[in-house]
Amino acid sequence: MSHPTSKTGNLDLLEAEAMLVIREVVAELERPVILFSGGKDSAVLLHVALQAYYPAKPPIALLHVDTGHNFPEVLDYRDRVAERYGLRLEVARVQDYIDDGRLVERADGTRNPLQTLPLLDAIAEHRFDAVFGGARRDEEKARAKERIVSLRNEFGQWDPRGQRPELWNLFNPRHRPGEHVRVFPLSNWTELDIWRYIERENIELPSLYFAHDRDVFSRDGMWLAVGEHNTLRPGEVPERRTVRYRTVGDMSCTGAVESTASSIDDIVRETALTTVSERGATRADDRLTEAAMEDRKKEGYF
Amino acid sequence: MSTSTLLRLATAGSVDDGKSTLVGRLLHDSKAVMADQLEAVERASKDRGLTDADLALLTDGLRAEREQGITIDVAYRYFATARRSFILADCPGHVQYTRNTVTGSSTADVVVLLADIRHGIVEQTRRHLAVATLLRVPHVIIAVNKIDLVDYDEAAFRAVDQQVRALAEQLGIAHIHTIPVSALQGANVVEVSDKTPWYDGPSLLGLLEELPIEAEELAADRDARLPIQTVLRPQQGARDPRFIEYRGYAGPITQGALAVGDKVRILPSGLVSKVTGIRIGEREVESASAPLSVAVELADSIDIARGDVIVAGEPLPIIAKEVEATLCWLSDRPLRLRARLLLKHLTQTTQVIVNDIAGVLDLDALESRPAQALGLNDLGRVWLKLASPIVAETYGQSRHTGAFLLIDPSDGSTLAAGMIRDARNPDAAREADLRLAARAEAAQDWVI
């Protein structure tokens, strides 16, 4: 039998795939959690999870690894969203680890690499066995090689050479005790897909994704926010500029881009025309070495 | 803009045939490479003492790959033109070739195989082509590369084209295309080259923009299949009090379409009901088609659980207790007779015993020879006995209801990709339901 159906677009296909992955892994495992930073990718991931279980509540907790250098408007957004949907929110704090000496502040002040230990501890403490992240394969070369369902050993490590083959739409999240899987339902989305979906679904985001005036200074070709977590080095001069963020992360290494895009519509248009990748524009930590992300993933990073 | 279609392609080739360069060229010339990514490649090329940017570096993601100048694992790339978006699974040629090609091909609408015009069809091309056929990738493109090295000679291309046609006939491939390209010079990759006036076909990208997409074909003129992943019952936890009594059966429509009012059957129970509501998340719709993820409500309150399948139309899939399948063995540990494993099919997982290893495929001779065990990268035919029934069709009928994984129960690792050739239900009441092969289209003889 055949029915007249409206044309299925890219976003419908990507949403369908992400819903399938979420439902499948949640059905097969016991304690799923979404890594929720308040960034746009995690906002989209949570939205898709809400769609997958509507009108029921997704049986999934939220986990945020707080570097202590987060933008206040993002933390506020995180708490509001968890509250609105009645989801359990766990927060692992890098600051706690620095305070009691389990971690030591890095010389460059960047805390992104310090997130791995609190993340792995939180996964072990709560015995999370399916850890969902909003990472996309178009972000970075090492990510391009990761499976949608990616096995991590007891140390949280990714073994790029020992990955499971991922066949058809048959996802296999089985693992031994102590191991867990990282799951990336948005693997096949691009940055532009994310913004078009946010526009279509009218998903609320933290305000710093939109153009605003901010005191910034230039370091390594990026605009970093002036604030208590970023001390100016000699020669760095703060200035007020109209900027927005393309990614949301640690204030010490997440750069703003100059932009007047103040609505989602503006951002979709700007993203469609951009010539610089999201991480190239905004992430100092990925510029450290050619294999920076690969190394961190092997250590158990997102 | 968001209504443009999505094509999934896989690329494969043997060592040094220029695949990474071709993929890099495709990404670069379709403007999918950002300025900072290109700068990084130019910097790395200079570090290696090269004068021009080595586009192959765009796709080599891991340090070991860059150091050894090889590709280890399937990498996924994304690019778009005004007409279509593409998901590209870039499958390495030499290490673990079957495992990678099987993985990349399993979801592909089209496979692009590279051949070096100076060498023609080599052993690895045959193998890749055989795997693509086995996995029933709807379209195959052979990119005959390095034509710049033979001065864009028509006769050299025609010779390889002849080889391809002969092999395609032997394998029973219906849709095969050959294109003369130079990945290095960009000839016929994105733009049609003026150096090959004797070639009147489209460029590689031009062809990729034209090919039909399997998901769209699956949506039309097929009877619906919906494997249930989970049952949604909000009860007291409903976000909206209207839904306290709601009961929705959630899963993907793998083929066909469902509409409110449709009569459906639940398998394996065989119970009949009617669709009373369809949701895609918060959106309530009158109908939905493959491959969307939906939740449907049914008129009758019947016992349905994860693993069941909602189907429409006739003939029905078979409730299989024994399955004959072709396996791609993907593990270092060999498969032995009487092995006890897990089988995952749609949303159902059951125990199986390997009752017979009927043979292993010799990909060069394209014939079966007897075997006692299957090793890494072997393709073999087996009979499996199932602890619980699955709702099966042949792989020829459906890349969804005909496919399964074999899983190691001790550590959860994926051991094999399985494709159903035949299935039996010794308990079936009707003669017609006893055996699947009787009514399925015949598989090629060489597909053991």
Contact partners, residue B362, CB within 8 Å, separation at least 6: B368, B369
The H or E element that residue B369 is part of is strand B367-369
The minimal CB distance from B291 to the residues A13, A163, A166 is found for A13
Give, for all 302 residues of chain A, the pLDDT tens digit: 333 344 678 899 999 999 999 999 999 999 999 999 999 999 999 999 999 999 999 999 999 999 888 888 899 999 999 999 999 999 999 889 999 989 888 877 778 888 889 999 999 999 999 999 999 988 877 788 889 999 998 888 888 777 888 999 999 999 999 999 999 999 999 888 999 999 999 999 998 899 999 888 888 778 888 876 777 888 888 889 998 888 887 777 788 888 888 888 888 888 877 766 666 655 555 544 555 666 666 666 66
The minimal CB distance from A161 to the residues B60, B72, B279 is found for B72
- Best mutation target among A21, A23, A28, A279 (most B Cβ atoms within 10 Å) is A23
Cβ distance A165 to B330 less than 8 Å, yes or no, reads yes
* Residue B57 · residue B66 · CB < 8 Å: yes
pLDDT tens digit string along B61-111?
566 665 655 566 788 888 888 888 899 988 876 656 677 888 888 999 999
Domain ranges of chain A: 9-194+291-299, 206-287
Per CB-CB distance under 8 Å, the chain B contacts of A159 are: none
Reduced DSSP (H G I as helix, E B as strand, rest coil) percent helix, strand, coil of chain A, to 5 = 40, 20, 45
Per CB-CB distance under 8 Å, the chain B contacts of A3 are: 257-259, 287, 289
Min Cα separation B261/chain A (Å): 12
- Residue B317 DSSP symbol: P
Nearest to B256 by CA among B218, B227, B293, B228: B218
Per CB-CB distance under 8 Å, the chain B contacts of A4 are: 287
Residue B310 has pLDDT above 80, yes or no: yes
Tokens of B421: 């050739």
Per CB-CB distance under 8 Å, the chain A contacts of B288 are: 5
Per CB-CB distance under 8 Å, the chain A contacts of B220 are: 2
Per CB-CB distance under 8 Å, the chain B contacts of A169 are: 107, 252, 254, 400
Alpha-carbon distances of B61 from A277, B67, B68, B261, rounded to whole Å? 16, 11, 12, 50
* Residue B346 · residue B391 · CB < 8 Å: yes
pTM: 0.90
Mean of pLDDT over chain B: 86
Contact partners, residue A135, CB within 8 Å, separation at least 6: A41, A143, A146, A184, A186, A187, A302
**What is the average pLDDT across B255-276?**
95
Q: Does domain A9-194+291-299 bear CATH number 3.40.50.10490?
A: no
CA–CA gap between residue B76 and residue A17 (Å, rounded): 15
- Best mutation target among B85, B216, B274, B410 (most A Cβ atoms within 10 Å) is B85
Per CB-CB distance under 8 Å, the chain B contacts of A188 are: 76, 78, 87
Work out whether strand A130-132 and strand A149-152 pair parallel, antiparallel, or are unpaired: unpaired
**What is the average pLDDT across B174-187?**
91
Min Cα separation A97/chain B (Å): 31
User: Can you tell me which residue has the tokens 């999201």?
Assistant: A278
Per CB-CB distance under 8 Å, the chain B contacts of A55 are: 232, 234, 238-240, 242-243, 246, 248, 282
Instruction: Note the pLDDT of residue B1.
Output: 36
Q: Which residues pair with B177 in a beta bridge?
A: B141
Min Cα separation A189/chain B (Å): 8
The minimal CB distance from B289 to the residues A3, A142, A275 is found for A3
* Residue B59 · residue B20 · CB < 8 Å: yes
Cβ distance B34 to A1 less than 8 Å, yes or no, reads no
User: Can you tell me which residue has the tokens 């010539």?
Assistant: A275
Mean of pLDDT over chain A: 86
Angle at CA B134, nearest 5°, toward B131 and B138?
Answer: 95
The H or E element that residue A98 is part of is helix A94-99
pLDDT tens digit string along B363-398?
777 788 899 999 998 889 999 999 999 999 999 888
Q: Which amino acid is at B1?
A: M
Cβ distance B295 to A12 less than 8 Å, yes or no, reads no
- Best mutation target among B230, B297, B410 (most A Cβ atoms within 10 Å) is B230
The minimal CB distance from A170 to the residues B35, B405, B411 is found for B405
Residue A231 burial by Cβ neighbours in a 10 Å radius (0-12, 13-18, 19+): exposed
CA–CA gap between residue A246 and residue A267 (Å, rounded): 9
User: ipTM value of the model?
Assistant: 0.90
